[in-house]
Structures are given as structure tokens and as C-alpha cells.
Structure 1
Amino acid sequence: MEWGFSVLLPGMAKTSCKIVCFIMNEVSSIEEEMDMWTKEFSKYFKIIKVTSYEEYLEKFNNIS
């Protein structure tokens, strides 16, 4: 986890990436952990949370 915060996220922030999408089931056993990652990712990127790839495409097309 420390690597993710100290290396992964700052490295990603140096790219042209502007949006990160988390595709997760509505009920997930790792929801608390994903909330933490969402909070950290939102420091660098716009976050889209969805339950399917199709839902992502719909949301992405509405913001781009």
C-alpha cells in the first residue's frame, strides 16, 4: 500500500491520464479499501465508480 501512495500515484500523476475508473460489484468485500484508494486517487484524477464496463462507457461519454 505504501508503494501505491509513494510511487504509483505520483508516477501516474505525471502522465496525461485525467480520469480513473473503478469497476466493482455493488457489494464488495474490499469496499473499505477501495474507498481509501478512491480518496487517494482523487487527489490526482477525476474518479468514476461503476459496476460494469458498459456503465463506465456511458458515464465517460457524458463527461468527455
Structure 2
Amino acid sequence: MTATTARTAAPTHESKSAFIPADGLQSVLAAFNAANLAASYIERGNLPAARRKLVQAMASINQLQGV
């Protein structure tokens, strides 16, 4: 049996939806940060704090709807 080692190039075309507009970057980072903190709180069993952070993450995501 022979192994196939041929590689193909990654696609170079990107759709416009794959890029984050500069004015929405802060909201994306805020949502990412809040979601990570929520995950940390869930691991520790602090569900009220996790809920607060998830609400913050959702608010940041909702801000992107206007961008």
C-alpha cells in the first residue's frame, strides 16, 4: 500500500463576508472575551457570573448587526 503525500494549495479567494470590518472589531473582541470568561466561570461552577458574561457577549454580538 502506498501513501499519498500530494498537497493541494489552499484557496486564495476570500468572500467579503469573511472579513471583519474595522469598526466591528472591538465588538467581536468584546464578545470573544466575554464568552471565554463565561466558559471559565462555568468550569468553576459560578453560574450567575457566567450568565452575566454571556449577556455581555450577546450584547456585543447584537452591536455587530448595526455595522
The answer to whether TM tops 0.5 is no
Q: Quick check: which one's helix share is greater?
A: 2
TM-score of the superposition, structure 2-length normalised? 0.30
Q: Quick check: which one's strand share is greater?
A: 1
TM-score of the superposition, structure 1-length normalised? 0.30
Instruction: Report which of the two structures shows the higher radius of gyration computed on alpha carbons.
Output: 2
